[in-house]
Amino acid sequence: MNNVDKFLALFSEFDMIVKPKQRTTKPKKEFNVLTSQISQAKSDLQRELVRLTKEYKAARRSFKHNKISRQELFDFEWRIHELQEEIRRIEESDGI
């Protein structure tokens, strides 16, 4: 007799009823974000983009001198791309 059969023999008197869980809270429709918060986030992202651009230029020089790998240089480029996309999304969503 395997473990499953033992379990079923021991608990043959129990019935399990499974009911789907009902949602207890209403889903939130949208966040209430102030325009000052949006402009603050955008300026923070732009400041970060400037800093990262400077680091990218230094990384390009390091890559030319074989101090960092191509993958590390690509990581800098990808992060710059992500920041630019985030800024673009903020501008499109609010029209600033």
Asked whether residue 2 carries a pLDDT value surpassing 90, the answer given is: no
Contact 40, 31 (CB under 8 A): no
Percent of the chain with pLDDT over 70: 89
Mean pLDDT (whole number) for 4-32: 77
The string of pLDDT tens digits covering residues 26-70 is: 766 666 667 788 889 899 999 999 999 999 999 999 999 999 999
- Residue 7 is given by DSSP the state H
Which pLDDT band holds residue 87 (cuts at 50, 70, 90)?
very high
The full set of domain ranges for the chain reads 42-96
User: Which of 94, 49, 45 is CA-nearest to residue 76?
Assistant: 49
Structure confidence at residue 64 (pLDDT):
95
User: Which of 45, 40, 39, 41 is CA-nearest to residue 80?
Assistant: 45
Asked whether residue 17 carries a pLDDT value surpassing 80, the answer given is: no
Structure confidence at residue 30 (pLDDT):
67
